Amino acid sequence: MARILVTAPQLPEALDLLTVTHEVIGGQEFMTRDEIASYIGGVDAILSALSDPLDAEMISLAGPGLKIIAQCAAGFNNIDVAAAKQRGIQVSTTPGVLHEATADTAFMLMLMVTRRAGEAERWVRDHKPWRYSHTFMLGTGLQGAQLGIIGLGQIGEAMGRRAAVLGMDVVYSSRSDKDLSAIDGVNPDTAPTRRVELGELLETSDVVSLHCPLTPETRHIIDAAALAQMKDTAFLVNTARGACVDEAALVDALNSGSIAGAGLDVYEDEPTINPALYEMDNVVLLPHIGSATRQTRWMMSKLAIDNITDVLAGRPARTAL
Ligand code: GLV
């Protein structure tokens, strides 16, 4: 019976699936670094979460039995993949199952911030006086506006599809021309195909939405200079990783009115949020719920468990990095 470390709360049905054939440790509470460190020497697999600090030092504590870190997320910036691979530990993620739900969240944030939905809802809940008025709570319409997608993977493509249905013009930036047919699940016939340089994207888009992974190159890709390039009527949406945006610079840009608003699901130092953001009515704040639908979370759990099963049976993980 293999020992599986589950580092964060999991769906009961996922735990049931694992415990049929394995001994499961954890699974109830978010584990601290010290707790993970105390277990990592004696387990065969880790079902990990995106906040687990699986850096080189932690991976050096792995026992000889550890064969796979199965990350239950698309992003993996918390894992030192090279250090894991060097020790023969496979690392897998859960692509292909969460992009639609995450694009829904980005789309929702775009609509919420441009149509002032958070602010309007707070107004009603605060019992502030209102009645239908031609001039009340006017937002920004998006038909004919331009969406700039930074990072065209599965989630960016799904966001582009949604925006196109709304009547938006969609452009994207990436470091190189994308061979869209090479991105799993992307339909080149419907994907945005107009690639522009990042500078042009920032200068010309009405909404800028981040869909890139967090890497050394994309850390603070939206910094003070990038924010200054955006139109003062433009909105920023981030469902990628908080550290893709310099949060202090974002606060300055919002304070000075150099951009019009922001819809955020992720933060630089989660779950801490820059206190100034709470006070801004032109900012929508969500608690990192990008892929949080029951259906998607089950598909993510199932795929991560399938990866563990594969590797423990001597096969490569089906979505290995
Ligand atoms: C969520 O942020 C993920 O990476 O899956």
pTM as predicted:
0.93
Please choose from 102, 155, 218, 289 the residue to mutate so as to test ligand 1's pocket, defined by most ligand atoms within 8 A of CB: 102
Interval 251-285: pLDDT, tens: 999 999 999 999 999 999 999 999 999 999 999 99
Task: Verify whether ligand 1 is closer than 6 Å to residue 308 (CB atom).
Answer: no
* Model confidence band, residue 27 (pLDDT cutoffs 50, 70, 90): confident
* Model confidence band, residue 1 (pLDDT cutoffs 50, 70, 90): confident
Higher model confidence: residue 228 or residue 192? Answer: 228
> Which percentage of the chain shows pLDDT scores above 90?
88
Burial of 232 (0-12, 13-18, 19+ CB in 10 A): exposed
99 carries an active-site annotation = no
Pick from 17-26, 72-81, 123-132, 211-220: least confident: 17-26
Q: Which two tokens stand for residue 143?
A: 């038909």
What backbone torsions phi and psi does residue 240 show, to the nearest 5 degrees?
-90, -95
Nearest to 212 by CA among 260, 166, 266, 165: 266
When pLDDT is averaged across residues 164-175 and rounded to a whole number, the result is 90
When pLDDT is averaged across residues 129-153 and rounded to a whole number, the result is 96
Interval 191-205: pLDDT, tens: 666 899 999 999 999
Which domains does the chain show, CATH number per domain?
3-95+294-312 (3.40.50.720), 99-285 (3.40.50.720)
Task: Verify whether ligand 1 is closer than 6 Å to residue 73 (CB atom).
Answer: yes
Q: Output the residue whose Cα is nearest ligand 1's atom 5.
A: 73
Q: Given strand 22-26, what is the order of strands in its sheet?
A: 22-26, 2-6, 45-48, 68-71, 90-92
> Helix crossing, 294-312 with 12-21: angle to 10°?
20
Q: How open is the CA angle 208-143-211, to the nearest 5 degrees?
A: 25
User: Which member of 241, 247, 268, 297 is catalytic?
Assistant: 241
Q: Output the residue whose Cα is nearest ligand 1's atom 1.
A: 73
